[in-house]
Amino acid sequence: MRTVDEIYFIPGRPFSCMRDAYLVGAGQSAYGAFPEESYRSLFRTAFDAAVDSVPDEFDADEIDEAFIGTLGVGGRQLGLSGPAVTEHVGLDGVPCTRVENACAASGFAVRQAVQAVKSGMADVALAGGFEVMTDTSSDATKYWLGVSGETEWERLSGTTFSGVYAQMASAHMNEYGTTREQLSRVAVKNHANGAKNPHAQLGFECTLADAQSAPVVADPLNLYHCCPTSDGAACALIVGEDVVDDYTDDPIRVAGVGAGSDSVGLFQRDTYTGVPASRRAAETAYEMADIDPADLDFAEVHDCFAIAELLAYEDLGFCEPGDAGDLIESGATELGGDLPVNTSGGLKSKGHPIGATGAGQVVEAFKQLSGKAGDRQVETPTRGLTHNVGGSGGAAVVHVFEKQQEVSAR
């Protein structure tokens, strides 16, 4: 009988008995405001796109497990929302688990699918997510966003998520000298990438002047420093090493997975200038993949606010604490730079349908590693990372994907 250490990866412990998991397909709906769509129809669009993206023939009847992320904005189908969408796409009888971890819901759904495949519980697993956010009033939307903060001491006292991230931005500016211009450069970069993405909600470019002169939302954050609310869905297909050859001869391995959690309320943490859950998740994913941050060719990070992307640079080891502002100014994270970040446009431009965001990041990783990212394609990438955060850092999950053939050839 295998021990727990052999079945589940624990940093610093053996990892010899789990089989490899592979990403063989991924797809999404457009992100935006779609009053004519339902959460079921959006999910169908994403599911069909994921199936169609598999290089060789894929039969949905081969799916053994499904994991679906959603917060449930607006209160629609809070119970059994996972089976509600999987049944709609014909997966009757397939075991389905709804995953809720705020904005990291479908990132954790991907992790659950990877675990199911690695453990041998499933040969083929579906991970996805959805959210409809634009059919409620602004006050109602603020409420549903706020439920992912600390309820008693943040949301019920009137604190919004923009207010929480504004506190983080202020702390970083005070401690490290980060500037409003550096925050605005995040928006400029991500809008430039999103303008090349046909699925992006805010698919237009903006100038630095635009991003600096927008109305203040929560000082020091302005409108261009904040992501939109979105409708959308995304799906990923994860398979085991025993069956991967049935679906592709160009496999993308899930090389590393890491997750972390923390106090839900920002005020409960020891630092406002970092997200410890992200750091823990990244450390585990890097160790599992046996790589360093320098080995990455691109990354999709959780930029719900401009400061969140700068914090991610530091938490994920792209630079030292306090150097994120210099990194964005250097151009290193632009398309064509040393480490392109948020080639999809990120949450800022592509959009942020809460339950779909993490799986949507995996869609971009799949496209980049498959060479199908169009005008935003990174040149010959081998490894990419996705980073999905729940709330202001109460949960975080990191995945490292690598193009298996190119890694083996080195």
Closest listed residue to residue 165, CA positions, set 116, 113, 104, 227: 227
Q: Buried (b) or exposed (e) across 299-308, using 16+ Cβ within 10 A?
A: bbbbbbbbbb
* Residue of 103, 206, 235, 304 marked active site: 103
Closest listed residue to residue 102, CA positions, set 346, 388, 391: 391
Active site residue 191: no
Strands 252-261 and 21-28 come out as: antiparallel
What's the CA gap between 165 and 272, in Å, rounded?
9
What's the CA gap between 281 and 268, in Å, rounded?
19
Are 296 and 339 in contact, with CB atoms under 8 Å apart?
Answer: yes
Contacts of 237 (CB under 8 A, 6+ apart): 23, 24, 25, 26, 50, 51, 54, 58, 63, 124, 125, 126, 127
Sheet with strand 252-261: strands edge to edge: 96-99, 65-69, 124-131, 232-240, 21-28, 252-261, 395-403, 383-390, 298-300
* Residue of 191, 225, 302, 352 marked active site: 352
Q: Buried (b) or exposed (e) across 117-145, using 16+ Cβ within 10 A?
A: bbbeebbbbbbbbbbbbbbbeeeebeebb
What's the CA gap between 399 and 410, in Å, rounded?
22
Active site residue 387: no
Strands 216-218 and 96-99 come out as: unpaired
Dihedral angle at the C-alpha atoms of 303, 395, 134, 150, nearest 10 degrees? -110
Place of tokens 């990194």: 327
State the catalytic residues: 103, 352
